[in-house]
Structure 1
């Protein structure tokens, strides 16, 4: 058969090999043209370069496989904010491990869809085994924990609220209670699901205060879901989970923990103690495309008993006919709100097999250590002010005596000049530069150079 080759089948590897080499060449040339963590010039300049390279997004005649691959991938790489670069530290945006990215290529080639067993025979079994193992990491003392693979914290939190709503079906509506430090997806999920607007409690210290929570729960309905956060987006702070769990239990409220950022601390015995109290939750969100170094997406929602997932069950005869299920074909529709679903579990399975729990834990400890190292350097620097010691791997700092306006302008200047990608966060009524260290290969000299960029920017104002 003439025409474009297919990725799968017996001839797939032969078709793919030269194309992958073209991708590698384009990635390398694009990175060299970019020259650093982020492209120079800001949105207008990047748009101009992409437009010049791509020109027509839908040409009448094609340019051929290798030209198209090289041109578009090179433009993407030249215009990327690359989290593998040591000065790209703005967000919870991890540089993926090479082996995880390679595994993801296999997922794209084979293209299983995890909405029915006959589309994903091995992938469905692999997912069942890996999710059970990861759920046991969250709930180690329970007999039947389980987890769903999601696109990330937003979908996981939405599922957690949906399960809470369904557990209360026929009774009072569930009232969500969270801190002002909670991720925006919690409020958004309540809105999407038609639940009452969450009660949002002030968190002036950056974490949810159990005493404030206790007072708030006194006047709320019997069906309440408390949402605690283990690793806030702004500062990486962890709510006091044991005290929050005790407070929620005293009021017969359920607890969901959004540990999208902090959850993978469980891989490290040294760091896992920060998550004591997690086991009292009815559901836990965690992401492995943050502290797990997976290509996005690699989210999870863990529950202490797989029976808690039954409300997600759904029947569509062409995917999970009752007689097929009774005959032993696994029913996958209750494993997600999505229908077509790629096997994101494959890259996770490869990573866990290659590194083991200890290997992933060592990476977690490495970035936490780098964060403490950066904080110590800031604390010693006469021209910089540290917000607080890091809880995980997020460090907030700002030039001494700078205004909020200058902090914002400094961040944008470094971004537009292509020198560094720093985040921004509000804490204690002030605006801070945010460095989220997720690259385990960051060196001490990289930290010094990053701080020098911020102080040079201050001097240039």
Structure 2
């Protein structure tokens, strides 16, 4: 059978015609030029442009012109307005969030993914892609020492994975303990009594998931943490006793392998024991710390994770993948039945009977990108050993950075022995403020230091609060960031703090960045 396409549209869609492929090459080359000139070559982690100014510049954009225009012209405008004023995640002084520089191999994969545009919900939309994702999930299950009954699915990241973990936990508990089918009948009368336990430092998506699942945020019972910000098993026991006395129903225990602020890893073996004793679903949020499984030197920190009923792991953090890319793993693949539905047009029951794999039954998404390909190409290109070496290097840099901070009288180390690569600290006021207490003055200084460094484009540093006190944080994900780069950032923190103290926080001199990450000049 011969099918004729409309040649008038060949220059708009990728296909086998010469004009299509020529146009595609030109477009990709133009995009590469914009990225190279306007983004990859950025000398600062951020331009420092104010919200108002950038808003004004972009206000004139005609989002949908009546007639189209030259693609190169539009790309050039994207370069000027967007790329030039984006956060440079590859810059050593971009160290605020769990926001990684992506590997070149994964960027190449993104081009392939977008061109093929496979949809990961059904076999007939993604045949080879379905099999590769399945193989990648099998590899991940093996990496976390899951048995042959385990299954999983790629997700948009930890938020979706945590939601899926608690969704399956809720449905499993209600079905097995309350003899109730949520899919068929909705929420049971006992819903108000269900409880989720997690560390007080667990990711906010535990509460968000509880809200989305109809439990409410009050269903989450926060457990106190120890001095290293890990869940206290003693307080967990106290809370479990209290819940039992109140006839409440703890159905899920969430352990964290890498808290957002401190990178702390909860005592997973003890949590697994408590979960088994209380017949609770044990979910481990390893979105941050899961990458330690690649390292022979550090994987022991994840001991006990193989006992989890489900695991969240992100690849757009320490696996250096472009956003978004994560996975959700379940120790017993049959648990996915709690969310599986069949649609005649998509994944009919006959397909399952014939063994045709349709991944939509394991996801709360329908249309999904072929994100497994970028992780696959990255693993192929680097290999496990080099991946592990990069991760280990960032942990070492964080350890050395914490030592620098602890030894500096102008700074205060909040976690002098970081478990991963997040380093929390404060600037110490060197002189008092006549109208503020020491604590209030310290809080103001640290808040202003962070904002000034961002507005001057010198460094992108995170802010957080520890026991109510404003603090700064370096998240040292970037393997290219050296201790010299960290020293340069800390020096800027101190110099900015000094200037603020001299003006009592009322005004500072403008600082212009003039060179590499360790070369700054101050202008009055």
Which among 194, 207, 227 is matched to residue 230 of structure 2? 207
Matched, 1:296 2:304: no
Cross-structure match for 1:22? 30
> What secondary structure does 2:317 align onto?
coil
In the TM superposition, residue 431 of structure 1 has moved relative to its aligned partner by 1.6
Cross-structure match for 2:39? 31
**Cα separation, 2, equivalents of 1:325 and 1:301:** 21
Cross-structure match for 2:453? 414
Please give the TM-score of this superposition, normalised by the length of structure 2: 0.84
Say whether the 8 Å CA contact 2:42–2:88 is kept in structure 1. Answer: no
Matched, 1:216 2:239: yes
Cα offsets for 1:36-69 (capped at 9, x unmatched): 10122321223234346xx211222222111112
Which among 424, 430, 438 is matched to residue 463 of structure 2? 424
Cα distance change on mapping 1:34 and 1:57 into 2, 3 Å = farther
Which among 333, 354, 360 is matched to residue 333 of structure 1? 360
Cα distance change on mapping 1:99 and 1:198 into 2, 3 Å = same
Matched, 1:94 2:100: yes
**Cα separation, 1, equivalents of 2:372 and 2:80:** 28
Matched, 1:262 2:289: yes
In the TM superposition, residue 137 of structure 1 has moved relative to its aligned partner by 0.8
**Cα separation, 1, equivalents of 2:337 and 2:381:** 33
Structure 1 vs Structure 2 CA RMSD = 1.9
Alignment of 1:218-237 (within 5 A): 218-220=241-243, 221-237=248-264
In the TM superposition, residue 407 of structure 1 has moved relative to its aligned partner by 0.4
In the TM superposition, residue 145 of structure 1 has moved relative to its aligned partner by 2.1
In the TM superposition, residue 336 of structure 1 has moved relative to its aligned partner by 1.0
Cross-structure match for 1:321? 348
Say whether the 8 Å CA contact 1:224–1:253 is kept in structure 2. Answer: yes
In the TM superposition, residue 9 of structure 1 has moved relative to its aligned partner by 4.5
**Cα separation, 1, equivalents of 2:491 and 2:349:** 64
**Cα separation, 1, equivalents of 2:50 and 2:81:** 15
**Cα separation, 1, equivalents of 2:200 and 2:104:** 37
Cross-structure match for 1:455? 494
**Cα separation, 2, equivalents of 1:146 and 1:188:** 25
Gaps of 5+ in 1: none
**Cα separation, 1, equivalents of 2:79 and 2:113:** 19
Aligned length: 458
Cross-structure match for 1:70? 76
Matched, 1:182 2:202: yes
In the TM superposition, residue 177 of structure 1 has moved relative to its aligned partner by 1.0
Q: Over alpha carbons, which structure has the higher Rg?
A: 2
Say whether the 8 Å CA contact 1:34–1:79 is kept in structure 2. Answer: no
Which among 124, 127, 143 is matched to residue 121 of structure 1? 127
Which among 48, 53, 56 is matched to residue 56 of structure 2? 48
> What secondary structure does 1:318 align onto?
coil
Gaps of 5+ in 2: 1-6, 179-189, 430-440, 501-524
Please give the TM-score of this superposition, normalised by the length of structure 1: 0.94
